[in-house]
Structure 1
Amino acid sequence: MPRKPCTAGWDDGRVMRIVAGSAGGRRIEVPPRGTRPTRERVRESLFSALESALDLSGLRVLDLYAGSGALGLEALSRGAAQATFVESDRRAARLLRRNAEKLGLRHVRIEQTTVAAALAARPREPYDLVLIDPPYAVDSAQLNQEYGLLVTHGWTAPESLVIVERPVQSDEPRWPEPLVVSRHKNYGDTVVYWAVHAGPDAALDDAIE
């Protein structure tokens, strides 16, 4: 069941920590309402699997429905070269910027807009890793359209990896070609899907299985 939004003020935000890397152990603020941050246990397991499957160093990362920025900031802490965050809520975007500055992480770009509006444009170059952790209220039909924009507007390229976190009771993603699901794993009431942009040489190490 979707969580009810918290009615606390923005001064009552929660905190969580970056798990590993250059900012490992450092705390970040989490918006008190309207977002559903990836639980630390899930994030730790996800990034452990990612680092077993590929080298994060130098990757371009796109964090959609970014909220506090926990996923993209974790990637930067572990060596990603650059991260773009898309968050529509003005206050959440401001908090995200504070988190990045507090951690001393560079090469951060924050777009305060909807995911659909951001993906309607074309990027200068594709991203290597796309992280998507939408609020439960975002329905599957909307997300399926946005997966399509990732591909048709050039946000991904062969070997790009797309990670999506959803509640277990939600519909499975309808992946547009050439995105191919390579893995999914349940974490209690949450499921995480991995999809790779298939191409002639696109392959992930068996470590993600």
Structure 2
Amino acid sequence: MTRIIAGRWGGRRLAVPPRGTRPTTDRVREAVFSRLDHGGHLRGARVLDLFAGSGALAFEALSRGASEATLVESDARAVSVLRANARDLAVGPDARVVKERVRPFLGRAAGPWDVVLLDPPYDIARDELAAVLEGVAEAVDADGIVVLEWSTRAGDAPWPSALEEVAAKAYGETTVRYAVPRAGGPDVSVGGGSVEA
């Protein structure tokens, strides 16, 4: 089990798929959402949660004031858990669960989204992640923000030219990277582009 940290559902527990996913730790989630909250990115936001797993990221965003979330996950067991968590929270139409692989979804999705959250498997091929991020660059709003959780050991993220990394913070095995569209991206107040230990 994992839990929602703050907002209208703060303290509520979420079921986690039995295997095949790596839920974001409370520590990392608190850090990510504190930054997003501080930057004013969540209130009324349209959120896209890719590789959604248990949905902890999207549900945390909704709990803290996002207006809607789309959760994309291809694993059938994880999708069942996502739908059960949405029912338990009585999210209603604010959350849409999509059972599909991320790249095909991005190829046909109707954005833009204000916040795009990605927590792909650590063993995802670098060229596959690069292709996903190309799709994300087209799906995020011009004033939006992209948050990527990826293995610290994997090195720099393969951002496309349309996205600019503005901050990164390492939490042991996980590094969280923040990027914005190069044309007129917001001041997210999260420091420089180098990884902080």
Instruction: Give the corresponding residue for 2:171.
Output: 187
Conservation of the 8 A alpha-carbon contact between 2:62 and 2:69: yes
Percent identity for Structure 1 against Structure 2: 43
Unaligned 5+ runs, structure 1: 1-14
Instruction: Give the corresponding residue for 1:157.
Output: 141
Q: Secondary structure at the match of 1:63?
A: strand
Q: Deviations over 1:159-191 (max 9, x none)?
A: 110000011101311211321000000011110
Q: Deviations over 1:184-203 (max 9, x none)?
A: 00011110000001223x22
Instruction: Give the corresponding residue for 2:48.
Output: 62
Larger radius of gyration: 1
Instruction: Give the corresponding residue for 1:144.
Output: 130
Conservation of the 8 A alpha-carbon contact between 1:61 and 1:131: yes
Q: Name the CA distance, whole Å, in 1 between partners of 2:7 and 2:32.
A: 14
Aligned residues: 190
Conservation of the 8 A alpha-carbon contact between 1:159 and 1:198: no
Instruction: Give the corresponding residue for 1:39.
Output: 25
Q: Secondary structure at the match of 1:163?
A: strand
Q: Secondary structure at the match of 1:175?
A: coil
Instruction: Give the corresponding residue for 1:108.
Output: 95
Instruction: Give the corresponding residue for 2:85.
Output: 99
- Following TM superposition, the consecutive aligned residue runs of length 4 or more in structure 1 with deviations greater than 4 angstroms are none
Q: Name the CA distance, whole Å, in 1 between partners of 2:46 and 2:141.
A: 12
Conservation of the 8 A alpha-carbon contact between 1:77 and 1:105: no
Q: Name the CA distance, whole Å, in 1 between partners of 2:164 and 2:21.
A: 28
1:132 aligns with 2:132: no
- Whose strand fraction is larger, Structure 1's or Structure 2's? 2
Conservation of the 8 A alpha-carbon contact between 2:144 and 2:186: no
TM-score (norm 2): 0.92
Cα distance, 1:45 vs structure 2:
1.1
Q: Name the CA distance, whole Å, in 2 between partners of 1:22 and 1:180.
A: 32
Conservation of the 8 A alpha-carbon contact between 2:41 and 2:114: no
Instruction: Give the corresponding residue for 2:11.
Output: 25
Tell me the C-alpha RMSD between the 2 structures: 1.2
1:174 aligns with 2:158: yes
Amino acid at match of 2:142: P
